[in-house]
Every structure is written in C-alpha cells, then in structure tokens.
Copies of this chain bind each other. A is one copy, B any other.
C-alpha cells in the first residue's frame, strides 16, 4: 500500500492524499460506505460505483463470519468475488459488533467469547482468529482486534482495556506476519488507538500504535456517546502523535460537521452508518442543511432534494421521497440512501478540492454552520 500526500492545508492539519492498493486507489479525505453483510443497505454496487463515486467500502467481519460464513466467502474467492465489488475493501475486526450486538459476551486475555445475535450459538474471537477471518474475507485493509468500551467508563477500566487492546494488537501483528494474502494481492493491517476520553490514555495509546510502524493507523472508541468537544480533543491529540506520512482513519464518525472538523485535524478516512441508517429514517443531508423529510412541511414541496447532479438528488422531489418513506416503501430507503451517500462523497471531495485550492479552513468554517442547519 502506498500513501502519497497531494496537498497540505496551511491553516489546519488537513491534507489531501492518495492511497494506492492493488485493487485501486483512494483519494482522501474519503468516506467509506458500510457494506455490513456484504452489501451496502438499500444501495446497489452499480450505484456505489457510477452514481455515488465510492472508492472503498467496508465489510463487517462479525456479520460476514456469522452469515454467509467464511467457507462460502472463501469459495467465492473472497468478498470481492462474492459481492462483485472490484475496488478496495476495508474489513473491521468484529470487535465493535461483539460488544454492541452479540448476547452475553465474556472478555478474557485469550479473546472474546460471545453468543451470536442471530441464533445464540457460541463463538470465540481471538486476535489470531480475527486475522485469519479477515485474510479469507480478503479486505485490502484489515483492522486489529480491539476491545470497544461503552462511554462513560472509569479511568481504571479504560486503562486496563487499552492495555489488553495493545497486547491483542501484538498478537494480531504476529499472526499477520506469519500469514500470507489469500487471493494474491497485498492486505495491510491498521492498529487502533483506544483510551476512551482520557487524554493521558489516548496519548499513551497513540504512542504505542505509532511505534508499530503499520501502513496506516486508526482511532477507535470515539463517537460512542461522548460530547463532540471531547471527541475533537481526543482526535486532535492523537493525530499529532500518529505519523503524518501514513493514513489516519477515524472509525465510526460521523455527522457532516464532525467529518469536516476531523479532516482539519488530519483525519483521512471515515466510515459511519449515519447517511444510510438515518436516511432510511428520513434524515436527508443537503448543502443547505438537514431535512427531516417526514415533517409535514415537505408534503407539497416538489423541489429536488438537492442540486447534486445525480438521479436521486436532482431527480427526486421532497414530496415524493416523503410519501415513499411515510409509506415504508423500500424505494424511499433506496433514494434516501443513494442521495445521502452522494452527499457524503460530494462533501469529502469538496474538502479535498479546497485543501488543494488552499482555502479549506475558511470553507470548512462556513460549511459546518450551514450543513447543520435544521431546515
């Protein structure tokens, strides 16, 4: 994997870069749509590629491991072969879902025992097993297995958990070094900074992670309920420690303003369920602000969702999308998801252009206010 910085902003730590993988290159800052169980919810791959301009998507190891199972994915030639998406894929480690979705989980030094949220069957994820699974899924970027804590938590708990995550990371790295890519192309591994909202722990974790000299680094355990200010403080401090010549990935963030603020701190990669999940529930992001399309205000508003040049944004009226979502029509979920993802990809691409043009900070400050206006 290669990482080339194309431009640096002068008034902030924002940068525009290019990540090159054997399955394609990624221009940053980038937003990665989430292909939970192998497909992005309510969005076809053709739309991801042609309409939305996605350059990389996520696959969730936890979901794919449970269904369809690793054997099916391996026989299909990996997730790329299974779902037909040819561009880069990033797989998470399953840690977040083990902690948020599964029933009765138990953490030990060995790993995480959990019961499937589907059928209650017992499973064990160890750092080694999670690397093996991700090898088979075939993501271009794999993630280290980490413990994800709820917020708030006590300092002692956060410290103990961070140390466990660091020991698990070492086991991930060992397994990674011992194993080969399954499908011929290079698979890299990103470690994850933890430490909850304790500055001391975050800095300590960032130092440990930076010291591993991986091809990219991630920040986890944020956007889990803490105030945005704390998320920004942690992200900013960690970005200052993580190497500037490697991509930085902020996991699970966030709203459009969060993304712009974190780009200004030096984050290159984002993922979040917000554009799709909130879209299905009627939250529509536009250049003018946020629309709750279920509001009666839009019942007879026949203007386009936004002036973004694609069939969903320009070709759908607010009134029609409102009607579809009020009727619980799948078509409403499709249109809302395609539009919101178009908006997110437009936003990070605009950020990139402004970084290259040298006016990112003033643009960002203006946009942050505008984008969060409730229309």
Write out, one digit per residue, whether chain A residues 32-50 have a CB within 8 A of any chain B CB (1) or not (0): 0000011111111010000
Given known A-B contacts A37-B329, A330-B330, A323 and B84 have beta carbons under 8 A apart: no
Q: Residue of B at shortest CB range from A302?
A: B76
Q: How far is the CA of A42 from the CA of B41 in the complex (A)?
A: 12
Point out the residues of chain B lying under 8 angstroms from A335, CB to CB.
44
How distant is A323 from chain B, measured CB to nearest CB, in Å? 4
How distant is A158 from chain B, measured CB to nearest CB, in Å? 34
Q: Residue of B at shortest CB range from A69?
A: B299
How many residues on the A side are at the interface (Cβ–Cβ under 8 A)?
39
Q: How far is the CA of A42 from the CA of B329 in the complex (A)?
A: 7
Query: Considering the complex, which residues of chain A in the window 135-166 have a beta carbon less than 8 Å from any beta carbon of chain B?
Result: none
Q: How far is the CA of A84 from the CA of B319 in the complex (A)?
A: 12
Q: How far is the CA of A75 from the CA of B300 in the complex (A)?
A: 7
Point out the residues of chain B lying under 8 angstroms from A82, CB to CB.
302, 317, 319-320, 323
Write out, one digit per residue, whether chain A residues 194-206 have a CB within 8 A of any chain B CB (1) or not (0): 0000000000000
Contact yes or no, A37 B316, CB < 8 A:
no
For the complex, is A315 an interface residue (Cβ under 8 Å from B)? yes
Contact yes or no, B331 A40, CB < 8 A:
yes
How distant is A74 from chain B, measured CB to nearest CB, in Å? 10
Query: Considering the complex, which residues of chain A in the window 317-360 have a beta carbon less than 8 Å from any beta carbon of chain B?
Result: 317, 319-320, 322-324, 326-327, 329-335
Q: Residue of B at shortest CB range from A334?
A: B44
Choice from B38, B42, B316 contacting A84 with Cβ under 8 Å: B316
Q: How far is the CA of A72 from the CA of B323 in the complex (A)?
A: 10
For the complex, is A68 an interface residue (Cβ under 8 Å from B)? yes
Choice from B83, B322, B330, B333 contacting A320 with Cβ under 8 Å: B83
Stoichiometry (number of copies): 2
Point out the residues of chain B lying under 8 angstroms from A326, CB to CB.
67-68
For the complex, is A24 an interface residue (Cβ under 8 Å from B)? no
List the 8 shortest-distance A-B pairs measured between CB atoms, nearest first.
A42-B330, A39-B331, A68-B323, A37-B327, A46-B311, A75-B300, A330-B330, A76-B302
How distant is A180 from chain B, measured CB to nearest CB, in Å? 23
Other CB < 8 Å A-B pairs besides A39-B331, A72-B300, A76-B300, 7 of them?
A: A38-B323, A43-B331, A44-B311, A67-B327, A72-B299, A82-B302, A84-B316
Contact yes or no, B334 A84, CB < 8 A:
no
For the complex, is A81 an interface residue (Cβ under 8 Å from B)? yes
Contact yes or no, B330 A299, CB < 8 A:
no
Q: How far is the CA of A68 from the CA of B300 in the complex (A)?
A: 10
Write out, one digit per residue, whether chain A residues 73-101 have a CB within 8 A of any chain B CB (1) or not (0): 00110000111100000000000000000
